Amino acid sequence: MLLHMFYFFFFIPCVLFVVLPQPLVVDGLREIRTKQPHFDESPTYLWPLPAEFTSGDEVFTVDPSLELVVDGAGGASDIVREAFERYRKIIFEHSGSDYVAGRFRFKRVLRESIISEYDVSQLKITVHSDNEELQFGVDESYTLLVSAGEVTIEANTVYGALRGIETFSQLCAFDYTTKTVQIHKAPWVIHDQPRFAYRGLMLDTSRHYLPATVIKQIIDSMSYAKFNVLHWHIIDEESFPLEVPSYPNLWNGSYTKWERYTVEDAYDIVNFAKTRGINVMAEVDVPGHAESWGAGYPDLWPSPTCREPLDVSKNFTFDVVSGILTELRKIFPFELFHLGGDEVNTDCWSQTPHVKQWLQNNNFATKDAYRYFVLKAQEIALSKNWTPVNWEETFNAFPSKLSPQTIVHNWLGPGVCPKAAAKGFRCIYSNQGVWYLDHLDVPWDEVYTAEPLEGISDASQQKLVIGGEVCMWGETVDTSDIQQTIWPRAAAAAERLWSPRESTLKANITSTTLPRLLNFRCLLNRRGVAAAPVRHFYARQAPDRAGSCYVQ
């Protein structure tokens, strides 16, 4: 009765022919519509693909009054209950919104006249641990069983339960003929867990300010693809939007007095993310990319006319760095903290008299001063019980000096994680050629086939690659276009980071992966996320003609 997961790969191509007989041909769409063969098919697509799963050939109906039953030490968690309520709205969107409850009683009557009883009326969630700490490496595994009469999710942590609920929501599809939510290819047995512990998306709120509401929208969408780290590149040279109470002039570097985050806003974002199983890793990029700091404290500039990097010669500079980190430590419980360290042009140091003098006094070349700054920042972070993350330049320049705890954040190109792992460093993969979302000329399949472990064959070294991250730099991205620039390409990376390497490698990318991604993009759209058409070469391009979401 239950079939092995490989069934999935053999089965999909048959379904596919129906869904995509003549992709992107509008006249072909008309043919689909008039022939309608696809109306008899209900493929169930999951994104990202679970680690192990089997499915059957039955169709179960789901009761719109689906009841949550919890068990285990952690089952009574607010995080679980609130997630259930969120997903109930998603799964039963066609039952009308809350506010109309009672106004359309006929709807239930109508439904009940068709369906006398449902196959699934309970979702049972068992969470073994009541420890809700969300840390690096938290157990996100879950087992999802769908059988007649019962759906059970079993997880060690509430965060595993969240992943299971997301998967359950993707199994549920509204059937327009019977007007019920159905689960196709039931029964299901899913044992799932992530391939990598770190699955990140970076947001840049310095080039363009993103309102907290917008960041929360993005966090919600991240959870649909099972991302688990929001790397918040809060400040950069263009603007400093964050409040730092001990240095209250720092956010004078914001674009305007309305484009700011209070400490409470930041807390709120961190806790919102936590309820979605997403850690927030803050970044304070030093010593470059920090010109905006000087808007409030011009002493941080080498001089008023030469403003970057931060003045390495002053104790005040490190007082401010330490002050910022002290404040941020109260807000960001995640054990990883990003110290930047990229693209440091030290000309201002060698050209500004008092800094030049300091370099000479210390017998420092500018590269020595760069190392001095980075290591001093690392010390500050380490003293606050943070694991420092640095962009790869620090590793490329002085690997043997870095704290061995350093996590190297690759970006410049391929081949860095192999080198970092060979030296015993942990690594995050973000090769800009494939995982920088601001590179608009990278189509989805190039994002998808990128491989964080490329060039690393030794198993113990592979383990040092903790995962990867897609980066959404903000020069041409603001509230108006950020969702369409992130999605659907971020989803391609999300599956690479979640699903077993074998299953993603084995898949025929055109015949099995593409239709699942098309489906996931339409799922994002249904949930209100402005994910762009999948098939365009350039990202975030408008659809170029009328047509179905499922082929564009």
Q: Which residues are catalytic?
A: 343
Beta-bridge partners for 426 = 407
Residues 471-500 touching a copy of itself, rule: CB under 8 A, are: 474-484
Q: DSSP 3-state assignment of 387?
A: strand
Secondary structure of 481-530 in the HEC alphabet? CHHHHHCCHHHHHHHHHHCCHHHHHHCCHHHHHHHHHHHHHHHHHHCCCC
461 touching a copy of itself, by CB under 8 A: no
| DSSP class of 531 | P
Of 190-209, binders to a copy of itself (CB under 8 A) are 206-209
Number of residues engaging a copy of itself in binding (CB under 8 A): 96
Residues 6+ apart with CB under 8 A from 376: 318, 321
- Listed ranges 58-66, 101-109, 404-412, 448-456: which one lies at the site for a copy of itself (CB under 8 A): 101-109
Asked whether position 549 contacts a copy of itself by CB under 8 A, the answer is: yes
Q: Establish if 179 lies at the interface with a copy of itself (CB under 8 A).
A: yes
Closer to a copy of itself by Cβ: residue 179 or 356: 179
Binding to a copy of itself, residues 23-62 (CB under 8 A): 26, 29-30, 32-34, 36, 38-39, 42
Distance, in Å, from the CA atom of 476 to the CA atom of 467, rounded to the nearest integer, reads: 26
**Token pair belonging to 274:** 């936590």
**Residue with smaller CB distance to a copy of itself, 160 or 253:** 253
Confirm if 301 and 307 have CB atoms less than 8 A apart: yes
Judged by CB under 8 A, the chain residues 144 through 163 that form the site for a copy of itself are: none
DSSP 188-252: EEEEE--S-SEEEEEEETTTS---HHHHHHHHHHHHHTT--EEEEE---SS---B--TTSTTGGG
Query: CA-CA distance, 309 to 172, in Å (whole number)?
Result: 52
What part of residues 254-293 is at the interface with a copy of itself (CB under 8 A)?
254-260, 262, 264-265, 267-268, 271-272, 275, 291-292
Q: Interface with a copy of itself includes 176 (CB under 8 A)?
A: yes
Distance CA 280, CA 269 (A): 8
Pick between residue 254 and residue 461 the one whose CB is nearest to a copy of itself: 254
Residue 12 or 189 with smaller CB distance to a copy of itself:
12
305 makes contact with a copy of itself (CB under 8 A):
no
Binding mask 518-547 for a copy of itself (x = CB under 8 A): ----x--xxxxxxxxx------x-xxxxxx
Q: Does 104 bind a copy of itself (CB under 8 A)?
A: yes
Q: Are 477 and 206 in contact (CB under 8 A)?
A: no
Q: Which of residues 313-352 bind a copy of itself (CB under 8 A)?
A: none
Q: What's the chain's length in residues?
A: 552
Question: Closer to a copy of itself at the Cβ: 420 or 531?
Answer: 531
Residues of this chain, 55-94, that bind a copy of itself according to CB under 8 A: 82, 93-94
